[in-house]
Amino acid sequence: MDVVETKNEGLVRDYKVTVAADDIEKRVDERLAEVGKTVRIPGFRPGKVPLKVLKQRFGGSVMGEVLEATVQDTSRDVMTDHGLRPAGQPKIEIVSFDEGKDLEFDLSIEILPEIGDLGLAGIELERIKVVPTDAEIDDAIARIVQQNRETKAIETPRPVEKGDVVVIDFEGKIDDIAFEGGAGTGIRLEVGSDQFIPGFEDQLVGAEIGKQLDVKVSFPDDYNVDDLAGKEAVFDCTVQEIHEGVDVAVDDEFAKSLGMEDLGTLKVAVSEQLGQEYNRLTRERTKRQLLDKLAEGHDFDVPPRMADDEFDQIWKQIEQAKEQDQLDEEDKSKSDDELQSTYREIAARRVRLGLILSHVGESNELTVSQEEVNRAIMEQARQMPGQEQMVIDFYRDNPQASASLQAPIFEDKVVDFILELATVTEREMSPEELNKEIEAETAAADAKSSDKKPAKKKAAAKKAPAKKDAADKKPAAKKAAAKKPAAKKPAAKKPAAKKDDAKGKDA
């Protein structure tokens, strides 16, 4: 094998590789000898077929197989001999080959940058601790009361009112044809809880026991079942029972019914739960600070094709947002050239941060266990009450979807590892103070973004493109979920799931 380096610029290495014709012929003969051990040809015993006959019968097909293997083997040898760490699959282009002649091909390799010491111990960060207010705790307990309230069947017949719990039978049809997952019998539903398809519950108001009614709805365009998304449907519904709520006193007895010692213990538990919700929010804030510092402190070249691939993904989202008129307001006045310039910077930053986090994880032997992936699958299942087994089966039957869950787990483990090394100070504030600070940061970022870089926003600002930032979401006690008229299919996550940072750029 003869190797000549033709380019050595930045992170790109190009080579012209020549494999001698004798080497190719030797490889073909060895492969034909393997084939000859098992092939059956009339007139010859297995393993005794002459090489000449094998070449006549199988030479053409074996040659293609040998060439492919030769290119792979020699490419790998080039990378090993030159001590290269490829950033992805090398680009290979066959220059020339004819039977009995040398094989020549061009090999282009993008290598990973040398990152070196990141100085993680010198990073200074702030962690916000939010203390729930008494009013929030009371509101959360009120929601718990609503979720756990007892109901009783009405004694005097009357139409359904908002807030009633009804027991219904239903069957959904599209164009008079019933669809899978669209029927239910004896389903309990609180009218006005927004647990069913938008518009469904409103039409139950005024219904009477035993009388059939047609509920007409439109499935959302982004509904997770493709066959139903955007479709008009009619549900044949019959209300079998109407229940009204029974007032519940919020006292020690109520707390005991939930397994608590008394009302004070319940309030402490609720406060801790709200605190955990806020901690998840503020952790993302701290994480964004960390990503900003890593990006600002380490400016190295990234593999061009990796940056191009990342940009292509972003640009597809931008074009989709433009088609749906969901582009950020500040981006609407920009030309495509301006937008592409901005989002190429974002793509490079995402790749750079990804390489940094990957470097930290690999250097410190951080891995994701199957048990952690299984826990992530169960968490996905818990988010779809009544359809847990469907979610589990989905990930079990789709190894790629299951593997994609490893990326965010790995990222979180790396972030946690860095936070252990960094100097992190804690500051306590109320939810109102946090919201004011987020608004101030957003206003400052908006003012700054009026220059040349519209994508640089913080905290509650929109992500690129057109997604809500986690900081916009205020923790609240979860509503009790109920079975919906049609099953939703869990969406597979991207193999490299990423979260936006404070500047609208992914890690």
Tokens of residue 425, six digits: 């100070």
Query: 154 and 88: one domain?
Result: no
Q: Which of 51, 83, 110 is the last residue of a domain?
A: 110
Long-range contacts of the stretch 202-206 (C-beta < 8 A, 24+): 204/160, 204/166, 204/168, 204/237, 204/239, 205/159, 205/160, 205/161, 205/162, 206/159, 206/160
d(Cα 229, Cα 226) in Å, to the nearest integer? 5
Predicted confidence band of residue 161 (pLDDT cuts 50, 70, 90): very high
d(Cα 290, Cα 292) in Å, to the nearest integer? 5
In a domain, 69, yes or no: yes
Query: 90 and 169: one domain?
Result: no
In a domain, 356, yes or no: yes
Count each helix (H run) and each strand (E run) in the chain, helices first.
13, 11
In a domain, 130, yes or no: no
Query: 341 and 422: one domain?
Result: yes
Query: 106 and 36: one domain?
Result: yes
* Residues spanned by the domain of 94: 2-110
Of 128, 132, 126, nearest in space to 432 by CA = 132
In eight-state DSSP terms, residue 206 is T
In a domain, 383, yes or no: yes
Q: Which of 247, 268, 283 is the last residue of a domain?
A: 247
Query: 233 and 277: one domain?
Result: no
Query: 233 and 264: one domain?
Result: no
d(Cα 186, Cα 173) in Å, to the nearest integer? 18
In a domain, 495, yes or no: no
The answer to whether residues 270 and 144 touch, using CB atoms and an 8 Å cutoff, is yes
The yes-or-no verdict on residue 457 having pLDDT over 50 is no
**CATH number of the domain within which 278 lies:** 1.10.3120.10
Query: 442 and 337: one domain?
Result: yes
- Residue type present at position 167: V
> Lowest-pLDDT range, 21-35, 189-203, 312-326?
21-35
Of 360, 312, 314, 282, nearest in space to 467 by CA = 314
Query: 159 and 294: one domain?
Result: no
* Tens digit of each residue's pLDDT (9 = 90 or more) over 461-471: 333 333 333 32
Query: 398 and 296: one domain?
Result: yes
More confident residue, 279 or 108: 108
What percent of the chain shows pLDDT beyond 70?
87
Q: Where are the alpha helices (DSSP H) in 198-303?
A: 252-257, 263-297
* Tens digit of each residue's pLDDT (9 = 90 or more) over 164-177: 899 999 999 999 99
Q: Report pLDDT for 360.
A: 94
The answer to whether residues 368 and 414 touch, using CB atoms and an 8 Å cutoff, is no
Q: Which of 54, 84, 110 is the last residue of a domain?
A: 110
Residue 37 CA, chain-centre distance (Å), reads 49
Of 444, 466, 111, 137, nearest in space to 314 by CA = 466
Query: 326 and 444: one domain?
Result: yes
Query: 197 and 295: one domain?
Result: no
Average pLDDT over residues 201-208: 94
Average pLDDT over residues 179-189: 90
Residues comprising the chain, all counted: 507
> Lowest-pLDDT range, 110-114, 213-217, 388-392, 486-490?
486-490
In a domain, 481, yes or no: no
Structural domain count, the chain: 3
d(Cα 313, Cα 309) in Å, to the nearest integer? 6
- Residue type present at position 271: S
In a domain, 502, yes or no: no
In a domain, 331, yes or no: yes
**CATH number of the domain within which 96 lies:** 3.30.70.1050
Query: 283 and 355: one domain?
Result: yes
